[in-house]
Amino acid sequence: MTSLTSITSFSPATACTQRDFGEPDAAGTRCRNRYKARTTGKHKRRWYTNRFSLKTDVLQVFAILICFGAYTPVIAAPDEELWTFWDAHNPLSEAVIDHAPWQLLLDKYLRGHPDGTTRVAYQTFSAEDRRSLAAYLDYLQSQLPRKLRRDEQFAYWVNLYNAQTVAVVLAHPNKSSILRMGDGWLPRGPWDDKSLTIEQQNVSLNDIEHRILRPIWRDHRIHFVVNCASLGCPNLQPQVFTGRNMAAMLSDAEQAFLQQPKALAWNDDGELMLSSLFDWYQQDFAANETTLLAFLAARLPRHKDALLSYRGRPQYRYDWRLNGSAE
């Protein structure tokens, strides 16, 4: 591996001081000539060769880290930013999207777990059911969601997001985390991949969550119903969303998540442990950490006194392991 010493030896600072380099005397002349010689001809070639070698070595290190699972992409939560194209709706529409194929797949492959999480039996998906999932996604992409009324739109986007996430996992077998999935040779998750085409628009998972759902509905409970195929994520709901059940399912999803240790827990030292969702999207829940604790206290009576009297900073954590089931 190229040493940093061999590269930095070409800097004029290692041959003389900055003051000497600018002096008009003999010392300054020698310094400038030495620098000129080392940045032309064979010395210049050696400099660029070493730079290339260093870049190659860095890439090799990254490859090793990826192979051994040591590389974890940095997660930055996108801000909400309305995609105005999708803001249109028809309040008089009577159209209803058929989500029955997605319900059949949830019934067949969703598993309860003793720890309270729901998991997906990705490994047992049959070839026929993979085709059914693909056909359902094709069906959703053929619809015109801007002509639906708002509640049907909400169900459409949430079911599409969750079904597409399952499709992503199925397309990346033997991956231990969704962070290892997606396009490119160094994937950071599939959220920015424009994998869907709806009304001639290329749409990503991030578009659905942060440019459609969050800015249009402005409901913090959205974070409890879009599933990222990870154990730290709120559970994938066992029932599909529809225009009729939307309100009840949002309420149930919030209460279910807040009751789980992955949402809120206390460690042995009495420190408050919160899901990173409350850090990444704090502005969707409260103005600051103090009001966030008040928000949680209002929804969790058994933790109310402890939350309102807590004076430390919460510790945030998230489990990115795949929400797969061996069954």
pLDDT 10s digits, 94-110: 999 999 999 999 999 99
Same domain as 265, residue 190: yes
* Number of domains within the chain: 2
Contact 111, 118 (CB under 8 A): yes
pTM of the model: 0.79
Q: Which of 39, 67, 95 is the last residue of a domain?
A: 67
Confidence of residue 115 (pLDDT cuts 50, 70, 90): confident
Same domain as 251, residue 294: yes
In this prediction, residue 183 carries a pLDDT of 87
Same domain as 244, residue 101: yes
Same domain as 62, residue 120: no
Task: Report which residue type is found at 157.
Answer: W
CA distance 206 to 192: 6
3-class DSSP string for 26-88 = HHHHHHHHHHHHHCCHHHHHHHHHHHHHHHHHHHHHHHHHHHCCCCCCCCCCCCCCCCHHHHC
In this prediction, residue 76 carries a pLDDT of 65
Establish if 72 belongs to a structural domain: no
Same domain as 157, residue 108: yes
Same domain as 98, residue 63: no
Q: Which of 48, 67, 86 is the last residue of a domain?
A: 67
Same domain as 306, residue 181: yes
**1: which residues sit within 8 A by CB, 6+ positions away?**
53, 57
Largest CA distance in the chain: 89
Establish if 111 belongs to a structural domain: yes
Domain that holds residue 32: 4-67
241 pLDDT more than 50: yes
